[in-house]
């Protein structure tokens, strides 16, 4: 007997990817339902060889359902997640709404799978920010060996992290560069994204950082270790899918680059592609559609006593969102619900 699964926000980029990954990983689904807002009712989505029609989230009864994967914004989640949770359906939420709630576990299964046990407080589990998810997969095995003191990360984040409208804006703007009469001014972004980079993701905070940068700091502390110091600069780049990160790590103990490479090769969810030659590293284009978090450019930082640099790339719609949510569901099933 498998699980009764609900995908909320099934018509969006992440919702569709959740359905793909549930099928690809052969998650033990007994029954599945796909939900969307009223304006998208009846939209068809694919689940393996099946075609499903979305139903109305507003009138759906979550009673008797095991797990709801939420891929909608914070406002909709704020309204509907407590309804699902109260009905006995465990919510795995991809929005930022519950990430910082002390009664809601924030989980990356390769890093802190034991945290899922805390779901019982609110019947909700939070999925981390896409840029945080791939970084902590790389940090955790290194932290276990040499204890991380400080992380300096600069991100190169694709437009898909901002949704379908952002993808369309990059596409339309790129074409308009070659057509002077077809001007496409910024709409989703604050400045032109085509052939440009924008050091601004989410809103600005009082200290001058953006909320995206703040998320990486707070989430890394909650998932890995509250004592790790993190500083981040988050940048949007003209790439459709795939986030990249340049990560500088300072450890309490010495960690040789060769040992770090060996540790990461054995780490769950990590693929090391690190050859010191032309093309001996992974770029966002190459990671699209893959489950792994790719690590390249591993090298000592000679400017500090115990430092390493590395390059981290992952498909943000997968590991940064849909895949991690499904992995949480798998972990929840194995450790807690025990069906399928």
Active site residues: 130, 243
Task: Determine whether 293 is exposed, middle or buried from the number of CB atoms within 10 Å of its CB (0-12, 13-18, 19+).
Answer: buried
The answer to whether 157 is annotated as binding is: yes
The annotation status of 99 as a binding-site residue, yes or no, is yes
Angstrom distance (rounded) from CA 70 to CA 61: 15
CA–CA distance, 285 with 197 (Å, rounded to integer):
17
Q: Residue 11 annotated as binding?
A: yes
Q: Consult the annotation and say whether 25 binds a ligand.
A: no
Side-chain-side CA neighbours of residue 71 (13 Å): 30
Whether the CA torsion 23, 25, 28, 33 is positive or negative: it is: negative
Q: 176 among the known binding-site residues?
A: no
123 is in an annotated binding site: no
d(CA 276, CA 262): 16
Q: Is 261 annotated as a binding residue?
A: no
Cα–Cα distance, 147 to 281 (Å, whole number): 26
Q: Is 236 annotated as a binding residue?
A: yes
> Is there a binding annotation on residue 12?
yes
List the binding residues for phosphate.
99
List the binding residues for substrate.
157, 236
List the binding residues for NADP(+).
11-14, 39-40, 160-161, 316
List the binding residues.
11-14, 39-40, 99, 157, 160-161, 236, 316
């Amino acid at each position: 007997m498998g699980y009764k699964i609900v995908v909320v926000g099934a018509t969006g980029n992440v919702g569709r990817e959740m359905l793909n990954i549930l099928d690809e990983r052969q998650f033990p689904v007994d029954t599945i339902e796909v939900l969307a807002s009223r304006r998208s009712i009846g939209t068809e989505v694919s689940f393996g060889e099946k075609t499903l029609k979305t139903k109305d989230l507003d009138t759906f009864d979550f009673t008797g359902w095991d797990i709801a994967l939420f891929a909608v914004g914070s406002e909709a989640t704020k309204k509907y997640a407590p309804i699902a949770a109260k009905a006995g359906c465990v919510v795995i939420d991809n929005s930022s709404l519950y990430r910082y709630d002390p009664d809601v576990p924030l989980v990356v299964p390769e890093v802190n799978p034991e945290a899922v046990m805390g779901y019982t407080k609110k019947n909700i589990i939070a999925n981390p920010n896409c840029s945080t998810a791939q970084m902590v997969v790389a940090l955790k095995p290194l932290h276990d060996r040499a204890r991380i003191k400080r992380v300096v990360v600069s991100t190169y984040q694709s437009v898909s992290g901002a949704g379908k409208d952002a993808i369309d804006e990059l596409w339309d703007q790129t074409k308009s560069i070659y057509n002077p009469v077809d001007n496409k001014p910024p709409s989703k972004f604050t400045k032109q994204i085509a052939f440009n980079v924008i050091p601004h993701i989410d809103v600005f905070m009082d200290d001058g950082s953006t909320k995206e940068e703040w998320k990486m700091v707070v989430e890394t502390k909650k998932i890995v270790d509250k004592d790790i110091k993190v500083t981040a600069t988050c940048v949007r780049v003209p790439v459709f899918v795939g986030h990249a990160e340049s990560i500088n790590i300072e450890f309490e103990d010495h960690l040789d680059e060769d040992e770090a490479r060996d540790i990461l090769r054995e780490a769950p969810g990590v693929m090391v592609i690190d050859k010191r030659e032309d093309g001996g590293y992974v770029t966002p284009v190459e990671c699209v559609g893959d489950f792994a978090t790719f690590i390249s450019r591993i090298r000592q930082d000679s400017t500090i006593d115990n430092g390493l640099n590395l390059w981290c790339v992952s498909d943000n719609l997968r590991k940064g969102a849909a895949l991690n949510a499904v992995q949480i569901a798998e972990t929840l099933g194995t450790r807690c619900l025990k069906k399928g």
